[in-house]
Amino acid sequence: MRLLSAALGCLLMFTGHVLAAPSTSPIRVAFPYIPLMAESKDHGVFIDMYAEIARRSDTDVVIDILPVRRAVQDFISGKYDALGAYPSLSEIPVSLASVPFYRRENLIFYSTDQFGHGNVTKLEDLDGTRVGLAAYHYPDYILDRQELNLERVPDDAFLLRMIASNRLDAAIIERFSGNHVRKLLGLEDMISVTDDPVTSENVLILFKADLAGIENRRAFNKAIYEMLCDGSLAKLFGRASLLPDQEIIERELPASAIISDCDPKAIFADR
């Protein structure tokens, strides 16, 4: 029996990064690569959030970072117990969706030389121009606008490099990851960014639609709500507009789980 336990422990060490205490049945999560948010199995804002969820729910979580399409496909095919982050305005595959844990704000990143700084504020300002999208899912509001010449590229860094080299006029990128990559590439003068999002949507975790998925969803929902209420999510994201809606989360919870003194934005009060 001891030999079996030791072998299992070795197997877990080589098959993924484990958050929280060792377990014989970890929750295997496919995570799409997202700059800053989920860059590797042990680095990223969302990865830190998952580590805290694992601790609070007393579960083991194994994370694999994959290309966006592969992460979704591998989850749908049953290779994983959960898909780490999925936008609510896209078509959701058969699954059990968690409560929202983040608000994805899509901003317009555009060529300063072509448009002038501050001259782009809404999607209509890009009509007739070359607009790039990464491999992530986007709302129909963006995809269905016929006046845009949309082009798909692999990732956010590729999008910004194409704007800098005049192969694109603009791109639509998530706030955190886009600004992170723009700074990393030294393109802050060449590429401007809108202040207000062109779209915003909830980000969810998708679980397998089975008995284990029901239990995993319940445990994660409870942990996410606790982190919202005690300010942990606010500390991670650093911006009030990125926090999920408290009322939406509480509608998914039993009355006995509601925290009366929940104050998600308390840390922003003195700013």
- Least confident range from 5-19, 90-104, 198-212, 225-239: namely 5-19
* Same structural domain, 117 and 178: yes
Q: pLDDT tens across 85-128, in order? A: 999 999 999 999 999 999 999 999 999 999 999 999 999 999 99
* Same structural domain, 76 and 127: no
At residue 271, the pLDDT reads: 57
Q: pLDDT tens across 27-80, in order? A: 999 999 999 999 999 999 999 999 999 999 999 999 999 999 999 999 999 999
What is the CB neighbour count within 10 angstroms for residue 201? 20
- How many domains, the chain? 2
Per the structure, the complete domain to which residue 95 belongs is given by 2-102+202-268
* Same structural domain, 179 and 245: no
- DSSP collapsed to 3 states, 163-215: HHCCCCCEEEEEHHHHHHHHHHCCCCCCEEECCCCCEEEEEEEEECCCHHHHH
pLDDT > 90 in the chain, percent: 89
